[in-house]
Structure 1
Amino acid sequence: MKTDEQKNYIYFLRKEGWSYTRISEKVKISRNCVIGICRRRMVTKSLKRGPKCKLNAAYKLRLKRQICNLRDNGAKVNCNKLIKSCNIPVSRFTISRYLKEEGLKYKKIRKTLPLNPLDKAKRCDLAKKWLAENHVWERTMFSDEKWFSIDGPDDWRTYTKKTDFIYRPRHQKKGGGIMVWAMVLPNGLLSYKILNRDFNSAAYLYLLQRTVVPICNLNYVNNFWFQQDNSRIHTAKIVKEWMTVSQFHVISWPARSPDLNIMENVWKMLEDVIYDRSPLTSRDDLTEEIRKAFLLINTNKRDVIINLYKTFRGRLVKVLVNNGNEINK
């Protein structure tokens, strides 16, 4: 392997009109090596493998304009749509190669909750307040509700052979599911309840009185905080009145902020366990898998949940850095 200094010296001698043989005798290397070094210097652009591009400058300009229009309008951008809208006589593979050359990638759009300027400002204000007051997250209980479907998640994926055809059966009119309420404690333990279909504010108040308060008092006496989102059931008049009379400490939670709730991470852990095996066939099977999942998390994953509490203040810092926009949990 020749150094850059040796190569530059060979280039200089060749530019001065020296022959390959004379250069090889001068620098003490073989003539073929000198020829290889000089010829590679002459190649300014390597030829690409594959078919020649069928898109001329006019087609490329037409594609760029159409892509900009679609993205500005929030519309989907794909190869077939570009071919039809731009009236270009090429295959979708040609368009795909062009988009790849332009640095574009076909991605699955992630669904997020819309945050208006007021929501972002509220998120930033609360983050500043919690950080300034050093809120005791180590004594805060996070809660949330989630729907688990018998048919499983839409994006169930696994690695398999290219020749294998895999599928998960589903019911024609959705197989139904179960609504679950759960609460996570700073010691890494989870508590959950399976909710009825007619779950309302009165049932939620009963849940607070008979489940949340006893568990929190058992672990932290009266020195604890409770987190809930701004669902209509949570903010009903009877619930607010009971919280005021009983001095139930509830933190003010910003709207559209599931990314700040530790329970979202816990739901993902539970989903990985519940939907790991073959498809479920009934509500009883789903109920049993939910029970096993909560037992597994409480037994083997407490350290993971405790670490979520330790890093929670970092989430608040990310909110401020992102000016109130959604953060990656």
Structure 2
Amino acid sequence: MPRRKLLSDFEKGQIVAMKQECLSVCEIARTLSRSPGAVHNFLNHPKRVDGRKSTRNATKISKKQTQLLLRDASKGEKSCRELKVSLEIDVGVRRIQQILRDAPHFKYKKMLLRPQMLQRHKSARLEWSKKMLENRNAFWRGVIFSDEKKFNLDGPDGLACYWHDLRRKEQVFSTRHQGESLMLWGAISCYGPSHLVRVDGNIDCTLYCEVLEEDRLPFAADTFGEEWTFQQNGASCHRSNYTKNWLSSKNVKWLGWLAKSPDLNIIEIVWGLLARRVYRHGRQFCNLKDLADRIIDCWSSSSEEYLNKLYESIPRRLVEVLEKKGGRTKY
């Protein structure tokens, strides 16, 4: 469609005069048989030649500059403003954002939160996985995995996601910041979960061994008898000499765990599923008793079939560590 002729000096004078008489943009446009957009643009930018929006920045970046921009942005290290400065591109930051948005292989998204993994961590994971692959499935089925998890009244990080219908009003998730939470310690076997133990305050090696004595050892004895292995992560109370000596005095075989390796610990998957069940549909709790009751109900519903699938996935996880040369797995 051809563009209409430019605003004449006479029309510009009429626009200024009618605006001084407090006429609206639409009234001025009807009087001059012009579009409201042309009148509005002239009033906002009277120094422009025709009152139209300038498009000179839209085509100022060359094809070569665009390719350099996309290649540098793919590294994920710089913001749009930093890309503009480093590549000396003579367009605005918003134009750069538009180019990246229009590229089919770019999507602006939140960075994932994961523990930092250094080369020494990768080397340790690689060697440990090679060693652990020598064990058969029967060994892993005799391992009890344990860990602790914190739950608060509003849910994990106070976040709730949902599919939003743009035709409806947005939902609001209101956090109360009451500061109350539960720290629970649990364990799983291929035959089912243990009882959950509430931990008040900071847990030291003495309290840790007391919990093992009162809950974990009876759970292991009832499940496996005498042949079993206890897994624990690298927390300070787990690695202390006091804990190691206590486990040795009870003839408990324990499996040390690697740093930066939550993807290999199957109880992390159980905690994640538990949190989704507890806080389903953005549920919040008024007190710790209601929260604890809900957690216990969801925890006890972990089926033996589901836990067996997690145990069967351990060799596949170790193989993927070898394939990734010690890097993170998809798990």
Q: Once the two structures are aligned, what percentage of the paired residues are identical?
A: 22
1:184-263 maps to which residues of 2 (within 5 A)? 184-263=188-267
| Gap change, CA 1:198 and 1:134, over 3 Å in 2 | same
The CA deviation string for residues 167-214 of structure 1, in whole angstroms up to 9 with x for no partner, is 122124x53311111101111334321111132221111011111111
Give the structure 2 partner of residue 144 of structure 1: 147
Q: CA deviation at 1:265?
A: 0.6
Give the structure 2 partner of residue 130 of structure 1: 132
Q: CA deviation at 1:54?
A: 1.2
Q: CA deviation at 1:99?
A: 4.2
1:51-90 maps to which residues of 2 (within 5 A)? 54-58=58-62, 61=65, 64=68, 68=72, 71=75, 74-75=77-78, 77=79, 90=92
Q: How many residues align?
A: 272
Give the structure 2 partner of residue 92 of structure 1: 94
Would you say the 8 A contact 1:53–1:94 is kept in 2? Answer: no
Aligned partner of residue 234 in structure 1, secondary structure: helix
Unaligned runs of 5+ in 1: 1-50
The answer to whether the aligner puts 1:170 opposite 2:172 as a matched pair is no
1:34-53 maps to which residues of 2 (within 5 A)? none
Q: Which amino acid counterpart does residue 285 of structure 2 have in structure 1?
A: L
1:256-295 maps to which residues of 2 (within 5 A)? 256-277=260-281, 278-295=283-300
Q: Which amino acid counterpart does residue 322 of structure 2 have in structure 1?
A: L
| Gap change, CA 1:185 and 1:98, over 3 Å in 2 | closer
Q: For residues 196 and 59 of structure 2, what CA distance do their matches in structure 1 show?
A: 59
Q: Which amino acid counterpart does residue 170 of structure 2 have in structure 1?
A: F
| Gap change, CA 1:273 and 1:69, over 3 Å in 2 | closer
| Gap change, CA 1:293 and 1:52, over 3 Å in 2 | farther
Runs of 4+ in 1 over 4 A off after TM superposition: 69-72, 80-91
Q: CA deviation at 1:84?
A: 8.4
Q: For residues 75 and 266 of structure 2, what CA distance do their matches in structure 1 show?
A: 33
Q: For residues 284 and 209 of structure 2, what CA distance do their matches in structure 1 show?
A: 34
Q: CA deviation at 1:291?
A: 1.5
Aligned partner of residue 324 in structure 1, secondary structure: coil
| Gap change, CA 1:182 and 1:93, over 3 Å in 2 | farther
Q: Which amino acid counterpart does residue 244 of structure 2 have in structure 1?
A: K
1:304 paired residue among 303, 306, 313: 306
The CA deviation string for residues 127-179 of structure 1, in whole angstroms up to 9 with x for no partner, is 1111124360010011111111212124421124222221122124x533111
1:115 paired residue among 107, 114, 117: 117
TM-score (norm 2): 0.73
Aligned partner of residue 213 in structure 1, secondary structure: helix
Q: CA deviation at 1:252?
A: 2.5
| Gap change, CA 1:219 and 1:84, over 3 Å in 2 | same
Mean alpha-carbon deviation: is it higher for 105-114 or for 253-262?
Answer: 105-114
Q: CA deviation at 1:97?
A: 4.0
Q: For residues 138 and 257 of structure 1, what CA distance do their matches in structure 2 show?
A: 20
Aligned-pair Cα RMSD in Å: 2.9
| Gap change, CA 1:97 and 1:58, over 3 Å in 2 | closer
TM-score (norm 1): 0.73
Would you say the 8 A contact 1:142–1:228 is kept in 2? Answer: yes
Q: CA deviation at 1:325?
A: 0.8
Give the structure 2 partner of residue 183 of structure 1: 187
